Amino acid sequence: MNSRPNSYQFSENFWWGAATASYQIEGAVNEGGRKPSVWDTFSATPGRVLNGDTGAIACDHYHRYPQDVQLMAQLGIKHYRFSISWSRIMPDGVGQVNQQGVDFYKRLVDNLLSYGITPHATLFHWDSPQALEELYGSWQSRQMSFDYADYVMAVVSRLGDRITNWMTINEIPCFTHMGYALNQEPPHAPGKRVSLAKQVWQASHHALLAHGLGVQAIRAASTVPCSVALVDNFAVTVPINESPVHVAAAKQAFPSCGQNGGIVFPALTGAYSPVLLEQLAADAPDIQEGDLQVIHQPLDVFGFNVYSGTYVRAADNQLGYEFLSFPPGYPRLHMPWLNILPDSLYWGIRHLSETVGRPDLPVLISENGCAAQDRVNAQGEVIDTDRIMYLREHLRAAHRAVSEGYPLKGYFLWSLMDNFEWACGYERRFGLIYIDYPTQRRIPKASFDWYKECIKSNRVV
């Protein structure tokens, strides 16, 4: 008998992992045959990124990956999610494959495997080749979807012997809706402003199509059985309390929250949400015949990135619900949007099952973590108890999902180490490992030891 009912014990086969992305950690932007991505151009443009930071050096992971993999082994993770840079593999976006780029990822993956760490590769985490931005405006063009699929084919046919866990695209709303929309704060590459909402939805439709074509390309190119996922940061509606009336309101509000109705719905059900299409009216994207079948590919797992959520309550209005804004003193970590709402993790998983209607689809938390105002103390330590509190509460929510029978397979903490946090540059730190950027010294934080203990004992400590 379990004498500690609240010990938050996970099953032996729960996957404990950590995540990063190419442009945020690799650096070496002019090495190994790589050519610029939209993020090189964007971050080099004055005023785009805080303090003028760029990913030119980042964590220098391109050179220091052996040390970073050693730290992963020390942490005890058995799963590592990273991304492959399109600009390293196909520097011009299309055509010639750059063998030096392929070789870098082979070295990294072989190193991971030698420590018994399973690689999970994201094929696109925002750093698309600048050449395609110049050629046809990247995601504004339908051609981008087909070029992405060719790139995927090139990667999987070369690395599919050692990587069997693939994630097509990370967070479509960010590089489309945030990349093109008017008044986007903070700005996001490519940072080109379009004049109509329809053009923004068209860009995300192209990204969905790329995902579908990418899944087909992975399955065609992999010579061994593999797992394929889409990663999305859909918006989570959280009931103000769990009485039936507010739970119903949270479900009803879900398709209209963020871009849910136009991204997670078509990807997982094969149709844009009718509620969203009605709201969008003339702003809805043009959908060609057959697109939705391509987009709605069978997946092996769904990657859910979760950081916060939106409270909803039932309301006596036409919709039957209302979204609630956060009160001024609501607890928040070190990003303007990082309101602490750990129930989002549980509710996101439950919505996938009950609201999107996919209880059959296994889920991975592909990102969860927080930025904190980390400081190295006089003893040379970083005591990030705020991060530990945030993570602990989210893992408890993950445990609730598992214990209620939802199909959660594992958890990837964002992030293994501090890195280039896009428009916020290096000022915002999400890592378990502190990076002293001037020296590139790695300092495991208190949260590193805490997570290590969770992994070792397979429970939330």
- Which residues participate in catalysis according to the annotation? 171, 367
CA distance 127 to 231: 16
Complex with ligand IFM: residue 135 or 174, whichever CB lies closer: 174
Interface residue with ligand IFM, options 18, 21, 131, 247 (CB under 6 A)? 21
As measured in angstroms, the least distance from the Cβ of 305 to ligand IFM is 5
Q: Distance between alpha carbon 9 and the CA centroid of its chain, in Å?
A: 26
Complex with ligand IFM: residue 86 or 430, whichever CB lies closer: 430
| b/e sequence 347-381, b meaning 16+ C-beta within 10 Å | bbbbbbbebbebeebbbbbbbbbbbbebeeeeeee
Asked if residue 80 binds ligand IFM (CB under 6 A), the reply is: no
As measured in angstroms, the least distance from the Cβ of 345 to ligand IFM is 14
Complex with ligand IFM: residue 57 or 197, whichever CB lies closer: 57
Asked if residue 421 binds ligand IFM (CB under 6 A), the reply is: yes
Asked if residue 418 binds ligand IFM (CB under 6 A), the reply is: no
CA angle 363, 111, 78 (to 5 degrees): 30
As measured in angstroms, the least distance from the Cβ of 145 to ligand IFM is 21
Asked if residue 367 binds ligand IFM (CB under 6 A), the reply is: yes
Residue 177 class from Cβ within 10 Å (0-12 exposed, 13-18 middle, 19+ buried)? buried
CA distance 226 to 165: 6
Complex with ligand IFM: residue 79 or 296, whichever CB lies closer: 79
Would you call 142 helix, strand, or coil by DSSP?
coil
Site string for ligand IFM, 389-408 (x = CB under 6 A): --------------------
Cis peptide before 415 (omega within 30 of 0): yes
Asked if residue 426 binds ligand IFM (CB under 6 A), the reply is: no
Complex with ligand IFM: residue 33 or 187, whichever CB lies closer: 187
DSSP string, 26-66: ---TTSTT---BHHHHHHHSTTSSGGG--SSSTT-HHHHHH
Asked if residue 305 binds ligand IFM (CB under 6 A), the reply is: yes
Asked if residue 341 binds ligand IFM (CB under 6 A), the reply is: no
CB 231 within 8 A of CB 162: no
Asked if residue 68 binds ligand IFM (CB under 6 A), the reply is: no
Interface residue with ligand IFM, options 40, 53, 133, 171 (CB under 6 A)? 171
Asked if residue 43 binds ligand IFM (CB under 6 A), the reply is: no
CA distance 261 to 269: 10
Complex with ligand IFM: residue 146 or 326, whichever CB lies closer: 326
Asked if residue 414 binds ligand IFM (CB under 6 A), the reply is: yes
CB 71 within 8 A of CB 40: no
Residues of the shown chain interacting with ligand IFM in the complex, contacts defined by CB under 6 A:
21, 24, 171, 305, 367, 414, 421, 430
